[in-house]
A and B are shown apart, each in its own frame.
Chain A
Amino acid sequence: MQSFPPPDLVSYVGLILVTDELQAPADFLIHRFLHLRLKDSKQSQCLFISVSEDMERIKAVASKSNLNLSQNGRFKFIDLNAHLEEQPDNSLQDSRLRRVFDVVTSELYNAQGGEGNFLVILDDIASLEWLGFSVLDLSRLCRALKAFCLKERATLVIRHHIISPSEPGILFQHLLQLCSYHVEVRPLSSGRSGAVSGELCLHTGPVESEPSQQLIARPTALQYRLTDGGAIFFNKGTSEGVL
């Protein structure tokens, strides 16, 4: 049995890009980042900026890991859609995203108190692109968020959906250039199986010249199987169905 993500990755200061596909969604990994960070150190605080995930689901999955998020003061949930809807539709997109950035930074400033190290999770930047925001604005938002998180020594995790694996989109290319680590969650090429739900790889981004993490290349991808509350990780060929 393996364990992912390694603790150093969860508290890494920088941008971690998590990509997935519809057949192998990475929400289990996002929740896992959240749980590990909240459990590991008592000073960590987590800010979950959500476009498509909802609070009920996060709470329900966290309760399976014995985390009570409704009473946990170190967890903050921001519903991005509510903030976007507050502004009139015909305002400039740039200003709407700017407002979003301001909200995030103000949250971090308010809650910091000088001590806590933060984990900021932006769930699903691909949905923002599909809802009509331009790639330029979104990549600017990501760059601004990353710069801010680096300054505040926070970990930033951004989730992106890959629609066409063979032709990477422009936003994905921008994100790839910004990130230090890239966790890639892919389905099995042979289709779904009861034993293995998918596989994941860890690549280094161009920013990180000396990766401190053990990288996982595609041929030696770590496979996982989903359970009710998370996932079990194992190397290829060592799942229960094979052994």
Chain B
Amino acid sequence: MERNNIRRQVALMRQSLFTQGYLDEQFVQLEELQDDTNPNFVEEIATLYYRDSCRSLQTIEKSLEKTPHDFNKLDNHMHQFKGSSSSIGAKKVKAECQQFREYCRAGNGEGCMRTFQLLKKEHATLKKKLEAYFQMARQAGPIETASRPK
């Protein structure tokens, strides 16, 4: 009973992540890769992503502090960051990345900085949500950690 409740909650949480636009189809792809040999695959990937992306963000932040802005470099960094964010299905984060790159191409330093703040926020928000989700999923037990909504 308890378990069922938890499971239901997990499912709901998951669903909302999608409907609210935090995650996209790519996340489902990851879930599908999860199997018995890798029961925590998605969580592992998310952890890896966050560890790596924090570093990237710091690099970008440092670059942003230097003026005049080296848009080329910023664009390159962001391209990388966007690639990894998209591979885990971080939809909102990806959108901000895209916006940032456009500002870079336009040479709009102000826009870049603003977008970067938004990006960091999205990045942190998603992190919290995923952590909560994974934690609950673990509680629910192995069986239902990743239900594929399809």
Task: Determine if chain A interacts with chain B.
Answer: no
Task: List residues of chain A with CB under 8 Å of any chain B CB.
Answer: none
